[in-house]
Amino acid sequence: MAAPLEHENQVFLDLFHQDGLVICARGLGIDRILLRFLRLYCEPASLVLVLNTSPAEEEYFIDQLRSDGVVHLPRRVTNEITSNCRYEVYTQGGVLFATSRILVVDFLTDRIPSNLITGILVYKAHRIIESCQEAFILRLFRQKNKKGFIKAFTDNAIAFHTGFCHVERVMRNLFVRKLYLWPRFHIAVNSFLEKHKPEVVEIHVSMTPAMLTIQTSILDILNVCLRELKRYNPALEVEDLSLENAIGKPFDKTIRHYLDPLWHQLGAKTKSLVQDLKILRTLLQYLTQYDCVTFLNLVESLKATEKAFGQNSGWLFLDSSTSMFVNARARVYRISDDKISKKSKVSEKMDIKEGKELKRKLVLESNPKWEALREVLKEIESENKNSEDLGGPGQVLICASDDRTCAQLREYIIAGAEALLIRLYNKTFGKDERAGEEWIKDRKAVKSKGNARSDKGPQAKKAKVEASSKQNKIMKKQDLTLTQMMGKTEEENIKEEMEGYKELSSSEEISIEETKPEDFHLNLASDAYYGIFKTPLTIIHPLQGCSDPYALTRVLHEVEPRYVVLYDAELTFVRQLEIYKASKPGKPLRVYFLIYGGSTEEQRYLTVLRKEKEAFEKLIREKASMVIPEEREGRDETNLDLVRDSTSATVSTDTRKAGGQEQKGVQQTIIVDMREFRSELPSLIHRRGIDIEPVTLEVGDYILTPDICIERKSISDLIGSLNNGRLYSQCISMSRYYKRPILLIEFDPSKSFSLTSRGSLHQEISSNDITSKLTLLTLHFPRLRILWCPSPHATAELFEELKQNRSQPDAAIAMAITADSEIVPESDKYNPGSKDFLLKIPGVNAKNCHVLMNHVKSISELVTLSQDKLSEILGNAVNAKQLYDFIHKSYAEAISQGKTKR
């Protein structure tokens, strides 16, 4: 790892001397600061827990520490380590990455030596809300250990921008008093990075007229949809529903945040508008990100799908939409004039198959950024030719947003635009060899004219043509062989698709070693890269979508490129490049920044920048006015957040109880299944002063008393277990072994407290409805009770009320009960199978079942009883007759009796 930078030293020292929450700007290296703390505590003398890290992040931190020569590397505590061995792991000390579920259970069962913990490091601290597992761990830690430190890290300032006093609430859950803010405009960061600025070349690429028209059309449609959404839902925040926010990535979350609680009340129009906004944002992304063929394919699929055409909110019928379709097609092909004159004007609603009958003349507009990228690569290559002073040719790293873009760019650089566009066209719209041949001839003619009279900067072009290194030769030869290949496909009528490289490499002119992708086996930490040239090394890497979040960071430090081409702008990586340059001051770095001028892509980047700046400004104002109590850190007994009590402060003392003396009550206990620690409910129960005993239960999720067993279901889980029959078998087990089986249906507090939406209520009842299935469940299990809870908080309160004045459950007995066990509670002295059978017989119900079983030893004895005897036992002549007839009446008699009744 590189030497720490000035501002990183300051952050480290501040946090080392006093616990707190560090909020850093994206890309400024919050992971580097966490790494320094990990290195500091990687020794057996201390025991430090790290919360909120993913396996990929843990792997990265361990690799970095290993490369730094750390002897006692951090260890992982997962479910692979048995509960008996975990105490030994904890006592060995060092840094431990542990899953939240394991830590909660170990704190509750005292398997972890709380007094020996040096402290806790919390990563991605913006996620620490009151009810999450990490907050529960921190509370348990502070209750048992008053001396250990808590240090929290995050680089997501925008997360604190929403909600009232969000940062204060997070700090309260973290038990920290200090807030450290490090935005990019912080004077220490800004002045230091200005000294070590990389050379930046901004290239504002102009969009083609067709692309600009399409972009304007999509923005017009977006505007219309937003206006409609506001008209149907006046309560929505107008600021958040601006066009600027609508083109940004987090817009879906914003919409869901507002609409989720009343989603069940919304009409079909609003729901389709939300879906359309998503589609339109995808169209905007495809327009600037991919080629003309891919964009047209998406547009055509929208129009061709009758379902989408019939159910859309009406934007497909707008003039802007027509303009978008016309221009999207014009970028790929145009229909010959002679055909149009013969036929009537082609209708917009014409089916694609009919469209194919017309003679298409291919246009296949190239992506303007491709040409800019090729110019940049030529410039880099001519500089590399004269790079003796810098120690040889510099390596090149090209960064694009996702895998698909990277694959397209690789094929473009190696095979050229013609091969790529023809291959995509043939793959998407089927082979049209005549049109392909004509297009190639047109391209040749344009190229020959272009060589004679250059439109863009003739001097620069000449200079670049003169540069004749390996890379340039390869590019020229590829263009040449491409046309030859196209000629061959026409003459020999080869039906295989032009798969970029493999066909091209059949030409003898191309150096196979330098171009064949199979030969690229670079020993890089990331496997997401796309290799192009080996000398000088030129690779493309995606900015997003890698399984390893640090893949690009690893590649940057391993490849150590002299040139970085940002095909797509991404704020975090731009900042990473600044930090990289500052950490290697002697090495030259040039960054090429390709961006469409006046596009939504540029606007999206600027919006992210502005939002982060606004978030930090708000945090600075909040920090200035924040009132933090002295006991916030919980190092003494005065912090009320650590008090476990369910009674509120406003409840007055009952003076009837011996003059208000405190009554010594029994400590309440609830047995909780291990798997339930994924939910927030155990944390809330513990907060109310009830002890939790975590064990592995086969029957039920929560055992409140020896008689009360509860199976908790969220809505999604309830629907799934009703459909696959799992809930039925769970209810059989609960009813068999517990007197009071309860099904708890818990709703999400941010969503509606209703099982079915108003729109899905039908006049006719279907057996597939969730309500019908629940009704059948209650009919099958008369003793089963159903609890409806709007939130986990309400559930915790309800549990406390259900436990009042009742005895405590026994964990050993609860663990012994399994779905197949023969142990039946002492009160139940009957064969459960026979009892279930008996309850299904007509005339026998839950009320008279036990009376009958007390008088009759077996089913065989029941068959011998007369109707009068049954009437005497059951105390009801009607029930006795039903039971007697069921046993003794023949099938023929029952059928004839049924007919006479009709």
Length of the chain: 902
**Beta carbons of 39 and 68 less than 8 angstroms apart:** yes
DSSP 150: E
Rounded Cα–Cα distance for residues 779 and 801 (Å): 27
Q: Which residue's structure tokens are 């406003």?
A: 650
Rounded to 5, what percent of the chain is helix, strand, coil? 55, 10, 35
Amino acid at 792: P
Could you tell me which residues are beta bridge partners of residue 360? 335
Rounded Cα–Cα distance for residues 482 and 503 (Å): 9
Amino acid at 901: K
Instruction: Look at residues 768, 773, 767 and name the one whose alpha carbon lies nearest to residue 745.
Output: 773
pLDDT tens digit string along 204-217?
888 888 889 998 99
Lowest average pLDDT, out of 458-462, 610-614, 767-771, 797-801, goes to: 458-462
Q: How many angstroms separate the Cα of 241 from the Cα of each of 268, 420, 616, 812?
A: 19, 39, 22, 56
What mean pLDDT, rounded, does the chain reach?
77
pTM for this prediction: 0.76
pLDDT tens digit string along 566-610?
988 888 888 888 888 888 887 888 899 898 888 888 888 888 888
pLDDT at residue 773, as a whole number:
84
Rounded Cα–Cα distance for residues 95 and 514 (Å): 45
DSSP 205: E
Q: Is the dihedral of CA 822, 828, 831, 835 positive or negative?
A: negative
pLDDT at residue 508, as a whole number:
26
Give the residue with greater pLDDT, 399 vs 347.
Answer: 399
Give the residue with greater pLDDT, 545 vs 345.
Answer: 545
Rounded Cα–Cα distance for residues 506 and 512 (Å): 9
pLDDT tens digit string along 421-457?
888 888 877 766 666 666 666 666 655 554 444 343 3
Rounded Cα–Cα distance for residues 616 and 704 (Å): 47
Q: Two tokens at 204?
A: 């504002």
Contacts of 81 (CB under 8 A, 6+ apart): 89
pLDDT at residue 743, as a whole number:
92
For residues 834-863, average pLDDT? 81
Q: Is the dihedral of CA 725, 727, 729, 731 positive or negative?
A: negative
pLDDT at residue 264, as a whole number:
61
pLDDT at residue 762, as a whole number:
59
Q: Two tokens at 902?
A: 């009709």
Q: Two tokens at 353?
A: 């198959």
Between β-strands 702-703 and 708-714, what pairing exists: parallel, antiparallel or unpaired? Answer: antiparallel
For residues 789-794, average pLDDT? 87
pLDDT grade for 475, boundaries at 50, 70 and 90: very low
605, 607, 613, 616 alpha-carbon torsion, rounded to 10°: -110
pLDDT at residue 499, as a whole number:
34
pLDDT at residue 819, as a whole number:
60
pLDDT tens digit string along 246-277?
777 777 777 777 777 666 667 777 778 888 88
* pLDDT above 80 (res 474): no
**Burial degree of 787 (CB within 10 A; 0-12, 13-18, 19+):** middle
* pLDDT above 90 (res 152): yes
Amino acid at 128: I
* pLDDT above 90 (res 50): yes
